[in-house]
Structures are given as structure tokens and as C-alpha cells.
Structure 1
Amino acid sequence: MARAAGPGPLRPHPHPLGLRLVQKVSSTRLFAKAAPRVIPALDRAVHRLTGGRGLPSARMLPGVILTSTGARSGLSRRTPLACVPEEGGGWLLIGSDFGRPAHPAWTRNLLAHPDATIDRRGRDIPVTARLLTGAERAAAWQAALAFWPLYAVYRSRVEREIRLFRLTRREPGAAAGAREP
């Protein structure tokens, strides 16, 4: 994957022709209807079978498996997600849910329990999620659009504000819920 010039997100890696085809298909309402059921199930199955090394959706966009705590249940929840890797080692997660009307469940989970883990290429990384607001959110949204322009299509389909989270590494020994001063 090529690095972007200066600070900001890394760029998606598909070849230009393949990228245009993926973007065209991904922008359809049929894709938005089917993808939330099909893609995560396929990602979970392949991820298990390959010991964390394979994630089919990562052929289009970089991806992680987010392990968070359920907001209501308190149970561990594993969700395959596209991410926008940031220079410096953080990640942006965009709660677009392919332009569906409701916020995805994983965003509620991170609001209730911001300490989580991501599996990135077979490595578990403890992270803390922070909901972005104001100018920081606006800058992150522009970075997300530069990375994957279809987020604008998904945004045009919803009345809600799409939640954006910045994930930062947490020290492996740090207690869940602990915050730096």
C-alpha cells in the first residue's frame, strides 16, 4: 500500500481499474442492503480459517476485526470493519453501515466501552476508541473521503451524523477504562 504524502491516511491498495469497479458496485443500494449480512460473515469465516491472516474485504480496503464489549449485554462482540490507517499508528473507524439508516451496533458498543482490541493481520492490538466531534471530526471526515470517496454516497442516504472513531494503541498491561492524565 502506498503512503499518502504528508500526514494523513494511507491510501487503499487496489489497482485503479479494480478500484473503480469496486466503488461502482459498492455504491449501489442493493450492495448496501446485502453487504452488511454477507461481507462480515465471509470475513469472520475466512479470518477463523486462516488464523487471523485472511480478511477478504481487506482486498478492497484495509480491515480489522474489532473486539468490543456489548453495550447492553456486556458480552464480547467481534466485528469485521474497514478502517482508515493513519500515519503514526492509529486507525479511523467510520460508522457508515453502507448508508443504512441506523447507527451500527459496534458504535454503541464503543460509546459504552471504549477499550477494545483489534486484530490487524493476525495480531491483537489493545486500543481505546474516542468518538470524534467538532473540527477534529471534520478533518477526519475529509481524510476518510479522500481515502474512500464512497463514504459521501453512504452519507447522502442517511439523516443521522455518521459516527467517526479514532482508535489509539493502549498499553497491553493498562487496565480497561484507565485513562492517561
Structure 2
Amino acid sequence: MNSNAVKDYSAKLMNHGHRLILKVSGNRLLTTPFGMPTVELHTVGRKSGLARSCYLTSPVNDSSRIVLVASKGGDDRNPDWYRNLQATPDAEIVIRGERRKVKARTADADEKAVLWPQIVSAYKGYAQYQKRTDRDIPVVICDIVG
């Protein structure tokens, strides 16, 4: 198994573990890791067309948008969920127990310049992730629809 496959398997295992802990605890544990709310993102697989979901955190969010960071822990590849959103930006997010329809888009350079300091302030690990990779980590703005 190559190193990318190991990283991907580890990420999937962690996501399944997070899902299990949330379910078993009745959504009482792991709801705000590192002080950020847990987000369950529902996308459509860009290749399969099947429903996909994963757990992330949102360092910046308000009543009109939820911001996600496509860091993949500083990996040199974008995460699958980000590539799914690029193909199909209409998605759903569950945050604080509420399911919301969103339209996702990658922040442009000016938006990211404003958001990045807020993101790093919420969780300093994002700055370390950016140092680990040569790619510019995308910031995703999920605008709440309706």
C-alpha cells in the first residue's frame, strides 16, 4: 500500500470513528473539536454520482455562510469532498443539529485574505497544514440557500 493510500485509509477510519462517537454519545461528544463546530457535509460523488458524507469543522460560520478549509491535514492533494463540491456545488450541511442547503464556492484571493487570519485564529493547526504543502489550501464558502 503506498503512502497516499495509507493516508486516505487513515482519514476514512478517523471519519468513521468520529461518526460512531457522535452517534453513540447522542451528539454530545466531539461536537466542537478544537472549539469549532462539527459539520456533517453531504455531497454527490463526482465520479459515482452517489451520496457522500464526511465530518469536518467550520472555523468561521454565521447565519448566512459556513466556511470550510480543504486542508486534508496539509496533504499535497485536495480532499475528495472538495473535488465533489467543485463538480456539484449544491450540497447540504448539518451544523448544530440543523440541516441546511448550501451552495459551495472556493473563496477568491481577496476573500481568502480576509478569512485566513480568522481561520488560523480559530485553529492554529491550519497554518501548520499550509506549511506542509506547496498547494494553496482552498477555503470554501458555503452560502446558505433559503
Shorter-chain TM-score bucket reads 0.7 to 0.9
Please, which of 110, 114, 121 is the counterpart of residue 96 of structure 2? 121
Deviation at 1:87, TM superposition (A): 3.6
Structure 1 outlier segments of 4+, above 3 Å: 47-51
State the match for 1:43 in structure 2: 18
8 A contact 1:39–1:57 mirrored in 2 = no
Q: Percent identity?
A: 29
| Offset, 1:125 | 1.0
Aligned pair count reads 138
- Tell me by how many angstroms 1:38 deviates: 4.2
Q: Does 1:58 align with 2:32?
A: yes
Counterpart secondary structure, 2:111: helix
Give RMSD over aligned pairs: 2.1
Whether the 8 Å CA contact 1:117–1:124 is kept in 2: the answer is: yes
> How far 1:48 sits from its partner (Å)?
3.7
Amino acid in the other structure paired with 2:101: P
- Find out whether 1:71 has 2:46 as its counterpart: yes
Unaligned 5+ segments in structure 1 are 1-32, 172-181
Structure 1 residues 77 and 113: CA distance shift in structure 2, 3 A = same
Q: Pick the structure with more strand per residue.
A: 2
Query: Separation in 2 of the partners of 1:59 and 1:40?
Result: 13
Give 1:113's aligned amino acid: T
Q: CA deviation at 1:57?
A: 6.0
Residue 58 of structure 2 is aligned to residue 83 of structure 1: yes
1:161 aligns with 2:120: no
